[in-house]
């Protein structure tokens, strides 16, 4: 059972902006633990996309951005491109579990 | 350049023990704040954090697997070993090891191995 909740799927047309939510609780995101986001293409390992809520590793386009407020976090993708079609996962730490936790993953479809 | 690669059996029988090795390069597991974590993903399902070993040999495990899971390291060989006992078909998944450096971002796994698929079946 995932500790964080994500919508199973989102979609958008090329050029549009989409957001993916990641809802937690007072024991993880709400406890001020950082949220990280990963991008995963079929048959490949997850790739770090956003770390520490809103930081991009080198090589990640600035079309990707992250934010956090209260017990939730969001990943925003602007100027949607066909190559963005993938599954996106959020991750944080849960102090009641004393464990890292992931969301269920969100499948992004570019229409 | 940091790389990690998982290796081990692809098919294991129920009740048996799974041993996976993560062989890494490009960093030292003796460096402060560095760790190697294990994460798995059943086919078509979410990522699940399994556990972590730190530079000082501190270990953390998922509460749901703690009784069956052990993570050890061989610093001289640049390897981390995952051992999971009493396997069940629900343990069928792709198993990933990943690099963690809390000095750059607490709790983030910045580099992942390619993963290894393990099927538990008789």
Chain B contact for A102, CB < 8 A?
yes
Do B46 and A2 count as a contact with CB atoms less than 8 A apart? yes
Tokens of A18: 């989409």
Taking 50 as the threshold, does the pLDDT of residue A1 lie above it? no
Encode pLDDT of B9-30 as tens digits.
Answer: 999 999 999 999 999 999 999 9
Cβ atoms of B83 and B90 within 8 Å: the answer is: no
Tokens of B44: 């078509």
**Would you state the pLDDT for residue B75?**
81
Do A102 and B49 count as a contact with CB atoms less than 8 A apart? yes
Nearest to B107 among A36, A44, A57 (CB): A36
Cβ atoms of B24 and B80 within 8 Å: the answer is: yes
Output the CA angle A2-A22-B100, nearest 5 degrees.
70
Q: How close is the nearest chain A Cα to the Cα of B118, in Å?
A: 14
Encode pLDDT of A49-58 as tens digits.
Answer: 999 999 999 9
pLDDT band at B109; cut points 50, 70, 90: very high
Do A91 and B47 count as a contact with CB atoms less than 8 A apart? yes
Encode pLDDT of A13-39 as tens digits.
Answer: 999 999 999 999 999 999 999 999 999
Cβ atoms of A20 and A5 within 8 Å: the answer is: no
């Amino acid at each position: 059972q995932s500790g964080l909740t994500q919508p199973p799927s989102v979609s958008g047309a090329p050029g549009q902006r989409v957001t993916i939510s990641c809802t937690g609780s007072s024991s993880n995101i709400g406890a001020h633990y950082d949220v990280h986001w990963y991008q995963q293409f079929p048959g490949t390992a997850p790739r770090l996309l956003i770390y520490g809520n809103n930081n991009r590793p080198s090589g990640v386009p600035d079309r990707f951005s992250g934010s956090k407020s209260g017990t939730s976090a969001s990943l925003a993708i602007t100027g949607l491109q066909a190559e963005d079609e993938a599954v996106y996962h959020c991750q944080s730490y849960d102090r009641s579990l004393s464990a890292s936790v992931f969301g269920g993953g969100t499948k992004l479809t570019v229409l | 350049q940091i790389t990690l690669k998982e290796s081990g059996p692809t098919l294991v029988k129920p009740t048996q023990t799974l041993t996976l090795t993560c062989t890494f390069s490009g960093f030292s597991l003796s460096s402060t704040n560095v760790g190697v974590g294990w994460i798995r993903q059943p086919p078509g399902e979410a990522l699940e954090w399994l556990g972590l070993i730190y530079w000082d040999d501190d270990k953390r495990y998922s509460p749901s697997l703690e009784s069956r899971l052990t993570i050890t390291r061989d610093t001289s060989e640049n390897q981390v070993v995952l051992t999971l006992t009493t396997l069940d078909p629900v343990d069928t998944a792709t198993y990933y090891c990943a690099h963690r450096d809390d000095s750059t971002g607490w709790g983030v796994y910045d580099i992942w191995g390619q993963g290894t698929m393990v099927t538990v079946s008789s």
